[in-house]
Structure 1
């Protein structure tokens, strides 16, 4: 709790129990009873004991996380807590009254305890309701605000992702390659135009989708690599190791495309003799594991094209939870591995 929140709590405690003391005084005055020193001392014990037991109760609630529970789960815990607090309050008041010689009741101990417990319950029950409702509303408001922030972040990440993938250099390179093929191989040129069209259409549609199937994303990547093969020719080798059972798994749109594009741009294109891109998709434990291996080195570049490690992790975790993860590393002197882990929904 913040410093201001703690101060507010104590003002409420003192104000609430002080109001109770004032009501007791007014009640005595209304009944035309003379307020004695003994009555004042008993009221003081009542207020101080009430503050003590409710403060301890509050600490139990906070440390146990009861205020974070749903109403159904919170009710039995709070009921038990109320009973124990009322009994504790009664025991303390009886003990202090007897020790200070303020008790005028000649009843048996259990009768006195039950009477004081019932009296305390009249105050503790509304105190507990107010405390729980205050935190319930506060937590609900915070969760709503967090939801809005997450939605805004998702939209921002999606926008950055789409902008990053409509790469003008790739488009210009693809168009130049297609132009060179028009006379040399018209059939391949027509196919290349279709492949480029598929990639651009997918980029435009990605803004409207949270996830796509891995199969759909893989088909776009195959079109992309086919276009890049026209440019790199024998300098680009591609291998696929795909478990067919993973094809219907959801992944963020254009994520695989981006990782492969980075593998080409920061790996293959910088190798004089070119290199290899290997795409692996399989299940590992309860995860869909997606691995992109490419010839090259990191050179400290973990944040290329605005699609860095942090933003990729955020996007995965927003869509699939905290268990989703992304990492990129060198696995040997001339190979870089980008690895994505997405939890598998076992309920399906």
Structure 2
């Protein structure tokens, strides 16, 4: 449907609602007046004619008043200006409606017995007063309806906008996660291939094992794009392959130890997260020291958090927290997956640098993967 057709449909729907409200409102007034007229024995042809004139003028002037409200675009103005202009319009149209009613009443001789004893000016003032009251009520209902409808539309539009923003954010997050998870340090691959080449003549069995280890790491990196989290045990196996490859290069300069709580092996972690932190420990810690050093990987449960610690020999000033893809990606992934519930810190402890990750325990495993409670 084009824009013109949409606007026509909207106008038609709004006009239908307006007609319905008019019919219900003035119909209610007719029923109330007839009820009291019958109750107080004042129901006669004169009363019916007078009521017809009043309702006819009410419908006429409220319809004209509605057109004025639309042409002046009162509903698009500030709330203060709306109230002022609505009151002024009510006074003007109340006076016009009341005066016309008194003219019709006088011309067709529809005065009640009580009005025949009043002067013409008193009747006009009385008709204007009651017309003002009725039109004031009409305008209040009209104003409230449009105010509520406008608020409802704004709420709906805001919800739609939020949905669009969230969808865009989700796509951005997914794209960022894909980039993060698919990242492998090319220098590591080149170093590994050089180490494997050197082993081919010296130690063929170890060279074959190194090829398998490198293959496992590359396969894990590609599979990481298909899932948000993996069991820690699977992640540790990849880390072990990575460290075995690095041990070929560093030999005795690299010492490795593990302290893994068995209860944490099935806990979900972002894929390649531990491997990325270990890679940074090698790059900024072990490789910076002529004597090499030690890397210790710890996994345990503390105070409702799954705590993972990667500790390496080195100095924090050689392990800049805001430099390099690894540490930035770690913080980004934790925030994207777990929000503010997960924590990451990097600190100096004696002669070692400690990278600590805290993942909330309210992560449950289902058949299709992992998600937060």
TM range, smaller chain? 0.5 to 0.7
1:183 aligns with 2:201: yes
Partner of 1:70: none
Structure 1 segment 1-348 matched on structure 2, within 5 A: 11-14=77-80, 16-18=82-84, 20-21=86-87, 24-25=90-91, 27-29=93-95, 31-33=97-99, 123-124=143-144, 127-163=147-183, 165=184, 167-299=185-317, 301-309=320-328, 311-332=329-350, 334-345=351-362
Unaligned stretches of 5+ residues in structure 2: 1-74, 102-128, 131-135, 366-373
Shift of the alpha carbon at 1:131? 2.3
Q: What's the TM-score, normalizing by structure 1?
A: 0.65
Unaligned stretches of 5+ residues in structure 1: 1-8, 36-103, 106-115
Shift of the alpha carbon at 1:177? 1.7
Deviations 1:315-336, CA, capped at 9 Å, x for gaps: 211111211121111112x200
The question of whether the paired residues in 2 share the 8 Å contact of 1:329 and 1:336 is answered with yes
1: CA distance between counterparts of 2:251 and 2:160?
58
CA gap of 1:118–1:281, structure 2 versus 1, over 3 A, is farther
RMSD: 3.2
Question: Which piece of structure 1 moves more, 193-202 or 321-330?
Answer: 321-330
Query: 1:292 is paired with a residue of what secondary structure?
Result: strand
2: CA distance between counterparts of 1:288 and 1:344?
6
1: CA distance between counterparts of 2:206 and 2:258?
22
2: CA distance between counterparts of 1:194 and 1:15?
77
The question of whether the paired residues in 1 share the 8 Å contact of 2:231 and 2:266 is answered with yes
The question of whether the paired residues in 2 share the 8 Å contact of 1:267 and 1:296 is answered with yes
Shift of the alpha carbon at 1:344? 1.6
Deviations 1:280-337, CA, capped at 9 Å, x for gaps: 111112211111000001216113432334x4322211111211121111112x2000
CA gap of 1:246–1:117, structure 2 versus 1, over 3 A, is farther
CA gap of 1:287–1:10, structure 2 versus 1, over 3 A, is farther
CA gap of 1:28–1:118, structure 2 versus 1, over 3 A, is closer
Shift of the alpha carbon at 1:20? 3.4
Deviations 1:260-280, CA, capped at 9 Å, x for gaps: 001011101111111110111
Question: Which piece of structure 1 moves more, 126-135 or 285-294?
Answer: 126-135
CA gap of 1:224–1:134, structure 2 versus 1, over 3 A, is same
Query: 2:271 is paired with a residue of what secondary structure?
Result: coil
Deviations 1:80-116, CA, capped at 9 Å, x for gaps: xxxxxxxxxxxxxxxxxxxxxxxx99xxxxxxxxxx9
Shift of the alpha carbon at 1:135? 3.4
1: CA distance between counterparts of 2:231 and 2:85?
63
Deviations 1:110-157, CA, capped at 9 Å, x for gaps: xxxxxx999967754653453254135325413531441343144135
1: CA distance between counterparts of 2:252 and 2:212?
22
CA gap of 1:179–1:346, structure 2 versus 1, over 3 A, is closer
Q: What's the TM-score, normalizing by structure 2?
A: 0.61
Larger radius of gyration: 2
The question of whether the paired residues in 2 share the 8 Å contact of 1:296 and 1:336 is answered with yes
Partner of 1:72: none
